[in-house]
Chain A
Amino acid sequence: MTETKGTVTAVNGNMVGVRVSGAVSMNEVAYILVDGKRLKSEVIRIRGETAQVQVFEITKGIKVGDGVEFTGDLLSVELGPGLLGQIYDGLQNPLPEVAAKTGNFLEAGVYLEPLSRERLWAFEPKHKVGDNVERGDCIGVVPEGVFEHRIMLPFGLAGSWTIKSIKGKGSYTIDEVVAVLTDARGAEVPLTMCFKWPVKRAVECYAERLRPSQPMVTKIRLIDTFFPVAKGGTYCIPGPFGAGKTVLQQVTSRHAEVDIVVIAACGERAGEVVETLKEFPLLSDPRTGRSLMERTIIICNTSSMPVAAREASVYTAVTMAEYYRQMGLNVLLLADSTSRWAQAMREMSGRLEEIPGEEAFPAYLESVIASFYERAGIVRLRDGGTGSVTIGGTVSPAGGNFEEPVTQATLKVVGAFHGLSRERSDARKYPAIHPLDSWSKYPGIMDSRAVDYGRSFLARSAEVASMMKVVGEEGTSLDDYLVYQKGEFLDAVYLQQDSFDKVDCSVSPERQKRSYRLVLEVLATEIDAKDKEDARSWFYGLRQKFLDLNGAEWMSHRHAALESEIESLLVGRSKGRDKQAERLIKVLE
C-alpha cells in the first residue's frame, strides 16, 4: 500500500475516474472503497491529477467522493507450489473457495488467497550456504503431484546473490523463510516458497530462446500429420459458432503430450468449463496414471463475469505457464476464446474514448495480440535444460468471416492456422479443420513429402468434386472419379476422427505413421474398376474396413486382421503403383 490516496470523481460503466494526491503508476492496482467492500481495479490512464481505472467488478453503488487506495503494485499473480489442479478466476481468485465463502454467487470485493497458507510442502534444498545464485535459479525443490516443483529466486530479483542461510530438508508452508540471500553490499533478502509476478510482463530468466522444432503431439491425426504444432509454437483455431472449437480444445487438453495444461476459459460459456471441472478429476492421464486435474490449471472468466477481469485472465494464464516452463517443463496454454479478450479491450477502449480502428477495435489490437503470442516459446534455461510454452488460441470471428481484425491480427503472428469450416461441421466431419485452407509452418511427425503427396489428392479431389457439380457424375472420366474417391477416402478415414470413441479419440504418432502408410498405399495404387458404380462400392467397402481398423485396439489381433484384409482388398484391385509414392512409403517404414 502506498501513501497515495484518491477519491472517485466519475463513473462510466466499469471505468472510474479518480482524483489522486501523490504519485501513481500506470497499470497499478487500486482498490475502491464502497460500502465496506474493496473493489479491485487497475490504472489504465493518467492525466494530470486524474487517474482512470478499470474496475474488475460490477460498479453499481460507487459514488463520487468514495475513497480509493493505491497499492503501488502492478496486477500480479502469486507463484508457488499448489497452483496445479486449481480453478481460478481471471484475477487468481480460487473459485471453489469463493463458493465455500459466498455460496452460489460471485459477490463483488471477495478476494481470497490463491495458494493455501497452511499446507506443508516437503522442501529439499539444492544449494548450500555460500553458493552464488541469481534470479530464476532453483534453490530447492518440493514434490507437487508427479512433478518436482522448483523453488526459484523471484524473477524480478536483479543482481547476483550469495546464500547466507538455507533450511535443511523438512516441511514448510509457502510463507516460511527457507533461505536468506545477501549481495555484495550486505543487503539481505529472505526467501519464501512463493512470490508475485506482474502478469503483463514476460518472464525472461533463461539463457536463450530456441527455434520450435519438436512436434507437440496432440494425438489428433489431422493436426499431427497435416498441420503440426511445435513445442513452444503458437497456433490459432478460428471458426464460426457450432464448428467445434471448444470440443477440439477439450480433446487437446486431455490427450496432448505435454507436462502441464493451462486452460484459459475467457469469456465463453460457463457450462463448458463445468464439464472440464467435473470430468477432469475423474479422468486419468495416460502418461502418469494420475488424475488429469493434477496437471491442469483452469483460469475461468466466463462471459457473464466482469469484462475487465476477462482482459486480465489470458495474462494470468500465460504467466503461470511461464512459471512452470522455468522448471524445465512443457506447458500448453489453451485460450478460448481470444476474440472475447479482444472484445474486452474494445469495450475499455470505447470508454476511454480512443479513436477506434477497424470494427471499433483499438488501434493497438495487433501489437497486443502479437505480444501475447510472443510469450510462447521454447527456451534453454540457465541450467541447460529446456522448457516450453505452447499457445493455442481459438478465435470466434463475427459471422464466421475470417477477414475480421482479430483473426487477421492473429494469423500474422501464429505458426499454424487450423481454420474450422461450417461446411465440414454441418456435414459432421470432425474435427472440422479445413484441410485445404489451413496451414502450419512447423515440422511434423512425418516426412513432409509424404504429407504433401496426400494433400495433393485432397486438392485434386476437391477440384473434381466441384467439376462434378457442373457436369454431373456422367460427365466425369473414370480416372478423375477415382482421384475423387481417393480424396474422399483419405478424408473419411484419416482426417476425420471420432473424439467420442475410446480408441480413435487419441492416436499415437507411431500409429499415425502406420495408418498413414496404409492410406498412402491406397492412394498410390492404380485401382482396377469397371465403372464408377463399381469404384464407389469398392471404396465404400474399403472405407468401412478402415474405419473398423481405426476403432481397433492398437496391435490387437483384430487390428492385424483388419490390416491384412485391407492389404488383400488392395492387391485384388491393383493395376500397379505410382513409383514416386513407393519411395515415400519406404521412408515411412
Chain B
Amino acid sequence: MKKVYSRIESITGNVIAVKASDVKYGELAEVSTRFGLSLAEVIRLEDDLVSLQVFAGGRGISTGDEVRFLGNPMRVSFSDDLLGRIFDGAGEPRDKGPALKENLITIGGPSVNPAKRIIPREMIRTGIPMIDLFNTLVKSQKLPIFSVSGEPYNQLLARIAMQAQVDIIILGGMGLKYDDYLFFKEALEEGGAIQKTIMFVHTAADPVVECLMVPDISLAVAERFALKGKNVLVLLTDMTNFADSLKEIAITQEQVPSNRGYPGDLYSQLASRYEKAVDFSDAGSITILAVTTMPGDDVTHPVPDNTGYITEGQFYLRGGRIEPFGSLSRLKQQVNGKTRADHRAIMDGMIKLYSSYKDSLEKKSMGFQMSAWDKKLLKYGSRFEAEMMDLSVNISLEAALDKGWEILAECFDPEETGLRSELIEKYWPVKTAG
C-alpha cells in the first residue's frame, strides 16, 4: 500500500500540489474530500512537488485532505460486461449497475504503427441517403459533423447508432445537457441498440476534468474490441466541449494561449484522439463520427479548423439537413466504385443538377423570369430536398439509387441529366406519367 499524504501545498483551480516522492508522471491518486473520494491525475512533477488535476474539481478541497497515490495511470475495465452499460467520465457507473473492476486497461495508449495500417475498403451503411449515396461513410474513417447549436445533431447520431451496420457502438458524451443524455438513453433503448452500446457520458454539470477523459476512455475500450475483431463505431458529441475543457484547464495552469485562448497543442490533442480510427489488417476496426459545433457558425474557428485538417472529410448539418455542398467523405472513392454501377454517376449527376437548382432559385428570388429549364430544376430541387436530403428518409443505398432515377425521370428528359447513355439505358425508369 502506498503512502498517504495529508498536506496539500497549494490549490489552484482544479490543480492541487502535494510534496511526495516516488510518484510517476501520469499516475492516479485518490483525494478524500468532504464530498467523498475523487480521482486525480499527476500532470506535473518538479522535485518533490507533485501537481495533480482533480477530476471532481478543486472546489471544497481542504489543505488537510488526504491524497493517496495508486501507482497506476488512468485505467478502465474492459470486458463484454461493458455492453449496455452507462458510465461517467471517470469510468464510474451512471446507471444502477455494479462498478466494474476486472481486467483494467490503460487509456491513451500508443499510436498505431502506420506500417500496419491498410487502405480502407468497406462502407458502413447507415440508411441515410445523404451519407450512403452522396458521401459514403467508410470503415476506419474519422469524420466530424460540423453543426451549430440548435441543430438536431444528437438525433442524427442516435439514428446512425441505431442503424449503422457495426458490431459495437460506443457513445462518448462531453458536456451533454442532461436532457440530451436521457434522449440518447431512451432512443437507444427504444431502438433496441442498447445491448450493443456502451456509453461514457459527461454531462454539462459534471466536473470539467472528466470531460477530458471521455474520448480517451471511449477509444481505449473501442481499441480493445477492435483488436478482438469487432467493428466499432465511436460517436463523440460534442468535441467543441472537449476542446473548451482543454482550454479551461490550460488557462488555469497559466499556459500561453495560441489562438482565441486555446492551447498551442490543440491540433496534437485532437489528432491523438481522431487518429485512433483504424482498420487492423488482422482484426476489427474503429470508425469515429464526432459532432463539432461551430461557435457562431464559423468554420475558421480553431476547433472546427483544426478538426478539418485532421479528419477525412466532414458533414455539414444545417437547417436539419446534411448539406451536399461542403460535406465531403474523402474516402468515398475507395468504396463507391464497388457498390452499384450507377452509384458514382448518380452521386455526381444529382449534385450537379442540385447546384443548378440553387442557381435557378437565386434567379427566382431576384425576380428574373423562369425558363422552362428553370422550372424543371425547381421541381427537381424540391423533390430532391424532400425525398433525399430530409433526415427522416430511411432507405437502403440501392433504394436510394432507384429513388434517384425515379426523381430524375419525373423531372427531366434523359439527355438533360448529363448521365452516360449506357447507364440511362439500363436504369432509366419506363415513364408512366410526367
Do A and B truly interact? yes
Residues of chain A whose beta carbon lies under 8 Å from any beta carbon of chain B: 8-12, 17, 58-65, 87, 95-96, 98-99, 102-108, 240-242, 267, 269-271, 273-275, 277-278, 300, 302-305, 307, 340, 343-344, 346-347, 350, 353, 356, 359-361, 396, 398-401, 426
Q: Is the CB of B24 within 8 A of A62?
A: yes
Closest CB in chain A relative to B25 CB, distance in Å: 4
Interface assignment of B184: CB less than 8 Å from any CB of chain A: no
Q: B325 touches which one: A240, A401, A426 (CB < 8 A)?
A: A426
Give B231-282 interface residues, CB cut-off 8 Å to A. 255-259, 263-265, 267-268, 271-272, 274-276, 280
Shortest CB–CB separation between residue B205 and chain A, in angstroms? 29
Q: Does B26 contact A (CB under 8 A)?
A: yes
Query: Among A65, A98, A241, A347, which residue has the most Cβ atoms of chain B within 10 A?
Result: A241
A104 contacts across to B, CB distance below 8 A: 112-113, 116, 227, 280
| A11-B73 in contact (CB<8A) | no
Find chain A residues with CB under 8 A from B271 CB.
267, 303-304
Residues in A whose Cβ lies below 8 Å from that of B264: 343, 346-347, 350, 360
Stretch at the interface among B117-125, B149-157, B369-377, B409-417: B117-125
Indicate if the CB atoms of A303 and B305 lie closer than 8 Å. no
In the assembled complex, the Cα of A340 lies from the Cα of B266 at a distance in Å of 11
Report yes or no: A360 in contact with B257, Cβ–Cβ below 8 A: yes
Closest Cβ of chain A to B169, distance in Å, is 22
Rounded to whole angstroms, the CA-CA distance of A269 and B306 in the bound complex is 12
Among A270, A340, A356, the residue within 8 A (CB) of B256 is: A356
Distance A307 CA – B263 CA, assembled complex (angstroms): 14
- Among residues of B, the one whose C-beta sits closest to the C-beta of A301 is B114
Per a CB cutoff under 8 Å, which of B22, B44, B112, B120 touches A63?
Answer: B22
Within the complex, what minimum Cβ distance (angstroms) separates B90 from chain A? 18
A-B contact pairs, 10 of them (CB 8 A): A62-B25, A96-B115, A103-B113, A104-B112, A271-B331, A274-B114, A350-B263, A398-B302, A399-B302, A426-B326
**Contact mask for chain B residues 1-45; partner A; CB cutoff 8 A; 1 contact, 0 none:** 000000000000000000001111110000000000000000011
B116 contacts across to A, CB distance below 8 A: 99, 103-104
Partner of B119, one of A99, A275, A346: A275
A399→B272 contact, CB < 8 A: no
B47 touches A60 (CB 8 A): no
Task: Determine the chain A residues whose CB is within 8 A of the CB of B312 once the complex forms.
Answer: 269, 271
Chain B residues, Cβ within 8 Å of A102: 113
Partner pick for A278 among B108, B113, B118, B310, CB 8 A cutoff: B118
Instruction: Tell me if B109 is interfacial: C-beta within 8 Å of chain A.
Output: yes
CB of B45 within 8 A of CB of A300, answer no
Decide if A360 touches B256 in the complex (CB within 8 Å): yes
Docked-complex contact B26 and A60, CB < 8 angstroms: yes
Instruction: Flag if B275 contacts A95 (CB, 8 Å).
Output: no
Provide the B296-314 mask, 1 if CB < 8 A to any CB of A, else 0.
0000111001101110110
Q: B48 at interface (Cβ–Cβ under 8 A)?
A: yes
- Chain B contacts for A87, CB-based, 8 A: 114-115
Known: A64-B48, A99-B113. A303 touches B73 (CB 8 A): no
Contact A11 B257 (CB under 8 A): no
**Which residues of chain A are within 8 angstroms of B227 by Cβ–Cβ distance?**
104
Quick check: is B111 within 8 A (CB to CB) of the other chain?
yes
B residues with a Cβ closer than 8 A to A are 21-26, 44-48, 73, 108-120, 140, 227, 255-259, 263-265, 267-268, 271-272, 274-276, 280, 300-302, 305-306, 308-310, 312-313, 325-326, 328, 331
B24, A12: Cβ atoms closer than 8 Å: no
Closest A-B pairs by Cβ, 9 of them: A399-B300, A303-B271, A60-B26, A304-B275, A360-B258, A241-B308, A304-B111, A95-B115, A11-B45
B308 touches A64 (CB 8 A): no
Of B48, B258, B310, which contacts A346 at CB under 8 A?
A: B258
A356 to B46, CA, bound (A): 23
Given known pairs A104-B227, A340-B267, the reply for A12 and B114 (CB within 8 Å) is: no
In the complex, the answer to whether B117 meets A105 with C-beta atoms within 8 Å is no
Choose among A12, A103, A275, A398 the residue that contacts B44 (Cβ–Cβ < 8 A): A12
With A302-B114, A304-B272, A343-B268 as contacts: A241 and B255 at CB distance below 8 Å: no
A64 touches B23 (CB 8 A): yes
- CB neighbours (8 Å) of A344 from chain B are 268
Residue of B nearest to A346 (CB): B264
Given contacts A104-B227, A104-B280, whether A303 and B275 have CB atoms under 8 Å apart is yes
In addition to A277-B115, A304-B275, 4 A-B residue pairs with Cβ atoms within 8 Å of each other are A63-B23, A95-B114, A103-B116, A307-B265
Please tell me which one of the listed residues A9, A107, A302, A353 contacts residue B110 in the complex, with CB atoms under 8 A apart: A107
Q: Nearest residue in A to B254 (C-beta to C-beta)? A: A353
Enumerate chain A residues within 8 angstroms of B313, measured Cβ to Cβ: 242
What is the CB-to-nearest-CB distance from B364 to chain A, in angstroms, rounded to a whole number? Answer: 15
- Which of A60, A104, A278, A399 has the most C-beta atoms of chain B within 10 angstroms of its own C-beta? A104
C-alpha gap A400/B306 in the complex (Å): 11
Contact B25 A63 (CB under 8 A): yes
Give the CA-CA distance A11 to B49 in the complex, in Å.
Answer: 11
CA distance A103 to B48 in the complex (A): 37
- Contact status A270-B255, CB under 8 Å: no
Instruction: Name the residue of chain B whose CB is nearest to the CB of A279.
Output: B119
Q: How far is the CA of A241 from the CA of B267 in the complex (A)?
A: 13
Query: Which of A267, A271, A300, A359 touches B259 (beta carbons < 8 Å)?
Result: A359
A269 to B113, CA, bound (A): 12
CB-CB nearest in chain B for A101 = B113
- A305 to B, closest residue via Cβ: B111
Residues of A within 8 A of B118 (CB): 274, 278
Task: For the complex, give the distance between the alpha carbons of A360 and B258 in Å.
Answer: 5
Report whether A59 and B25 are in contact in the complex, using a CB–CB cutoff of 8 Å.
yes
CA distance A340 to B275 in the complex (A): 15
CB pair B310–A269 under 8 Å, yes or no, is yes
Inter-chain CA distance A490–B34, complex, in Å, is 75
- A465 to B172 Cα, complex, angstroms: 48
Asked if A347 contacts B259 (CB within 8 A), the reply is no
Assembly CA distance A58 to B268 (angstroms) = 13
Q: How far is the CA of A54 from the CA of B176 in the complex (A)?
A: 37
B45/A10 in contact, CB under 8 A: yes
Please report the C-alpha to C-alpha distance between residue A347 and residue B23 in the assembled complex, in whole angstroms: 25
- Chain A, residue nearest B140 (CB): A271
Using Cβ atoms and an 8 Å threshold, which residues of chain A touch B267? 267, 303, 340, 343
Q: In the bound complex, what is the Cα–Cα distance between A426 and B316 (angstroms)?
A: 14
Q: Which residues of B contact A340 (CB under 8 A)?
A: 267
Of the candidates A17, A61, A96, the one having the most CB atoms from chain B within 10 angstroms of its own CB is A61
Q: Separation in Å of the B148 CB from the closest CB of chain A? A: 17
Q: Which residues of B contact A242 (CB under 8 A)?
A: 308, 313, 328
Q: A105–B109 contact, CB under 8 A? A: yes
Contacts A300-B114, A359-B258: A64 and B119 contacting too (C-beta < 8 A)?
A: no
Residues of B within 8 A of A17 (CB): 46
Chain A residues with CB under 8 A of B26:
59-61
Whether the pair A270, B117 counts as a contact (CB closer than 8 A) is yes
Chain B residue at minimal CB-CB distance from A355? B256
Bound: A105/B116 CA distance, A:
8
Are A64 and B256 neighbours in the complex by a CB distance under 8 Å?
Answer: no
Which residues of A lie under 8 Å from residue B111 when comparing CB positions? 105-106, 270, 302, 304-305
Please indicate which of the listed interface residues B111, B140, B301 has the most CB atoms of chain A within 10 Å of its own CB: B111
Most buried by A among B23, B44, B115, B306: B115
How many Å lie between the Cα of A87 and that of B113 in the bound state?
11
Q: Measured between C-beta atoms, what is the minimum distance from B168 to chain A in Å? A: 18
Complex CA distance for A267 and B310, rounded to whole angstroms: 9
Contacts of A270 in B (CB 8 A): 111-112, 114, 117, 275
- What is the CA–CA distance of A426 and B328 in the complex, to the nearest angstrom? 11
Q: Least Cβ distance of B426 to chain A in Å?
A: 24
The one of B23, B256, B300, B301 in contact with A401, judged by C-beta atoms closer than 8 angstroms, is B300
